[in-house]
Amino acid sequence: MSQSARAVFLDRDGVLNRASVRGGKPYPPATTDELEILPGVFEALAALEAEGFVLIGATNQPDVARGIQRREVVETINERLMAELPLRDIRVSYEDGESPRRKPNPGLLLEAARDYGVDLAASFMVGDRWKDVEAGRRAGCRTIFIDHDYDEPRPEPPADFTTNGLVAATAWILETTRTGGTRDA
């Protein structure tokens, strides 16, 4: 398969769906009843899909390894997101601790790129935590940081673009690709 597709890799919690913030730190929904897709996400993803982007979720879910969450619940949440949003796939790292698949390492993105014929240099990673941005950078993607002002480290070096939500991130992606923007855009 040729590496010609462009992708937008999307963190799940805080990008696609609302993360609950406690003590300045984001947490995933604990149940499907808590799952709330953020405003504008469907329209933003539809616009990206219309421009030919492959849309792939990439999420760390270490609470499974920690025994705090059941894998079946994570999979049910992902299935619901896949049913309601134009996502091609959601890749999950269930590991806790160092793993090639767990962001900030790029394993999830590299696997998806191989499986879907994605040109990483023509692709984007959108996330709300420094680990998302670093995974995108390590994979060779342009990076977008959705800043929810969490009480945790920010991406260093900064992402290619920082904004407050997926709608603005999508506008930047579309403008950048339509105008042939570079990493420094």
Percentage of residues in the chain with pLDDT exceeding 70?
96
Q: Tell me: the pLDDT tens digits for 31-64?
A: 999 999 999 999 999 999 999 999 999 999 999 9
pLDDT number for residue 3: 61
**Residues in CB range of 79: below 8 A, 6 or more apart:** none
Q: Which residues contact 21 (CB under 8 A, 6 or more apart)?
A: 27, 148, 150
Percentage helix, strand, coil for the chain under 3-state DSSP, each rounded to 5: 35, 20, 45
Domain ranges of the chain: 6-170
Q: Which two tokens stand for residue 79?
A: 């299935």
- Asked if the model's pLDDT at residue 2 lies above 70, the reply is no
**Rounded to an integer, what is the distance from CA 74 to the centroid of its chain?**
15
Fold adopted by 6-170? Rossmann fold (3.40.50)
Which residues participate in catalysis according to the annotation? 11, 13
Give the model confidence (pLDDT) of 139-156 as tens digits.
999 999 999 999 999 999
pLDDT tens digits along 18-27: 999 999 999 9
Q: Which pLDDT tens digit goes with each residue over 60-74? A: 999 999 999 999 999
